[in-house]
Amino acid sequence: MAQKMLLKGRVVSFRGSPFDGEPTDAARLDEAVLIKDGHIAEIGAADSLIRAHPEAEVKDHGDHLIMAGFVDPHVHFPQTAMIASWGKRLIDWLNTYTFPEEMKFGDIDYATEVANRYLDLTTAHGTTTMCSFCTIHPESVDAFFSAAQQRGQRVVAGKTCMDRNAPDGLCDTAQTAYDQSAALLEKWHGIDRLSYAITPRFSPTSTPEQLEAMGALWAEHPHCLMQTHLSEQTDEIEWVKSLFPDARDYLDTYEKFGLLGQNGVYGHVIHLEDRERHRLREMDAALVHCPTSNTFIGSGLFDMNGLMSEGHRIGLATDTGGGSSFSMLRTMASAYEIGQLRGHPLHPAQLLWLGTVGSARVLRMDARIGNIAPGMEADLVVLDLASTPAIAQREAHANDIWEAVFPTIMMGDDRAISEVWIGGHKAV
């Protein structure tokens, strides 16, 4: 008989979107979750589950919050070592910090070291799945997937493709980008809990020929995700206009080469024009809000309320290392602050949903991860809602679960992470 684990606590899950109507109506609160064979078997009242499964090992987390592990749909694991680098906007930041660091990832030993360090750091912060850009080096992809495979994690990643406006050591060609991406996709996609994402970095670092090659590869593998960047900064948009003078807008530089589609994941999307908003919604493409990155690099304020009202598919991401934290809690806090600046503060239920269900929807994995429901994979995080004296004294006066969790969203860090479960196995 397979071993069963019963976790008791305050279990929060979602039965709908908290952006539709009253936010709290979308949430469900239970007392326990039963894990079996790496999956969620049941959720419900603790006494009932214990009676029904007397053979299960019980772990009582008291007032701790049990929820789905965080899902981070836009990261750059190779930027781990240069996170929080001072004082540049996007283009100078890439040239000064990012590209010199990414040059190192042709060394499989270095790539493996950083991949493991990144997964250690993110697991400690409660993140169980992420979608990562690698570097142009196939070694970087192999290192990341191998490290995640050993841990049993569900992750997405892809070789970053660039053939211009980058150092010689970080440029491939249209043909090598296609050939290496195709080989890596064949090697890793669908193996265990791993998925491949076709990954042109962004239009300024790819020639039309390379974008066309990536579009052709995606057409051959439309079930795969395609990840890139879109409309992050105003000076970036002007650069795109100078490089693609015939394009209607930034999105058109992808669309004309077959890189706009339902399985597209577009990071940042801050300064969208009306046509771009319409086309992204029409295609049901995914948008990713990266709030700590957008403030750290000075990009702008994401229009969460407007885009949600239009019906877009939206997730929340750290954007390590343009983002200044590995923590999805810190990312939620930043999203709340940007919402305040926009005049639409986000409810705690909306923030938790964005970092779990919403981000899993971005990756088209919401039937597997990002929520707690029977049959879903058992990727879980247990939050201590009184992890520091400052948080504890506020939580003590909470009137409901949302007042109790909000101080942890705003002030919490890895100390709030009591346990992490990945694929039904305790990781932290």
Tell which residue, 298, 303, 210, has the closest CA to residue 258. 210
Q: How many structural domains compose the chain? A: 2
Which spans in 43-161 are helix H? 46-52, 90-93, 99-102, 108-124, 138-151
Find tokens 């490089």 and name the residue. 243
Task: Please indicate, yes or no, whether residues 65 and 83 belong to a single structural domain of this protein.
Answer: no
Two tokens, residue 136: 């142009």
> So what's the pLDDT on residue 350?
98
Three-class HEC string of 21-64: CCHHHHEEEEEEEEEECCEEEEEECHHHHHHHCCCCEEEEEEEE
Task: Please indicate, yes or no, whether residues 31 and 153 belong to a single structural domain of this protein.
Answer: no
Q: What is the CATH number of the domain that holds 154?
A: 3.20.20.140
Task: Please indicate, yes or no, whether residues 60 and 83 belong to a single structural domain of this protein.
Answer: no
Task: Please indicate, yes or no, whether residues 166 and 250 belong to a single structural domain of this protein.
Answer: yes
**Which of these three, 327, 362, 397, is where a domain ends?**
362
Distance CA 398, CA 132 (A): 37
Tell which residue, 300, 364, 396, 288, has the closest CA to residue 63. 396
Report how far Cα 86 is from the mean position of its chain's Cα atoms. Answer: 24
Distance CA 78, CA 109 (A): 13
**Which of these three, 342, 362, 382, is where a domain ends?**
362
Task: Please indicate, yes or no, whether residues 196 and 302 belong to a single structural domain of this protein.
Answer: yes
Find tokens 């705690």 and name the residue. 348
Query: Which residues have C-beta within 8 Å of that of residue 113, sequence separation ≥ 6?
Result: none
pLDDT tens for the chain, 428 residues: list them: 468 999 999 999 999 999 999 999 999 999 999 999 999 999 999 999 999 999 999 999 999 999 999 999 999 999 999 999 887 777 888 889 999 999 999 999 999 999 999 999 999 999 999 999 999 999 999 999 999 999 999 999 999 999 999 999 999 999 999 999 999 999 999 999 999 999 999 999 999 999 999 999 999 999 999 999 999 999 999 999 999 999 999 999 999 999 999 999 999 999 999 999 999 999 999 999 999 999 998 999 999 999 999 999 999 999 999 999 999 999 999 999 999 999 999 999 999 999 999 999 999 999 999 999 999 999 999 999 999 999 999 999 999 999 999 999 999 999 999 999 999 999 99
> So what's the pLDDT on residue 1?
44
Cβ contact 255:203 at 8 Å: no
> So what's the pLDDT on residue 94?
87
Q: What is the CATH number of the domain that holds 25?
A: 2.30.40.10
Two tokens, residue 150: 């050993």
Cβ contact 228:200 at 8 Å: yes
Task: Please indicate, yes or no, whether residues 256 and 299 belong to a single structural domain of this protein.
Answer: yes
Task: Please indicate, yes or no, whether residues 26 and 141 belong to a single structural domain of this protein.
Answer: no
Task: Please indicate, yes or no, whether residues 143 and 64 belong to a single structural domain of this protein.
Answer: no
Domain assignment of residue 313, given as a range:
70-362
Q: What is the DSSP letter of 320?
A: B
Task: Please indicate, yes or no, whether residues 248 and 305 belong to a single structural domain of this protein.
Answer: yes
Using alpha carbons only, how large is the chain's radius of gyration in Å?
A: 21
Cα–Cα–Cα angle for 244, 250, 255, rounded to 5 degrees = 90
Task: Please indicate, yes or no, whether residues 380 and 288 belong to a single structural domain of this protein.
Answer: no
pLDDT in tens, 368-402: 999 999 999 999 999 999 999 999 999 999 999 99
> So what's the pLDDT on residue 2?
63
Distance CA 208, CA 226 (A): 17
Task: Please indicate, yes or no, whether residues 76 and 40 belong to a single structural domain of this protein.
Answer: no
Q: What is the SS3 assignment for 219? A: helix
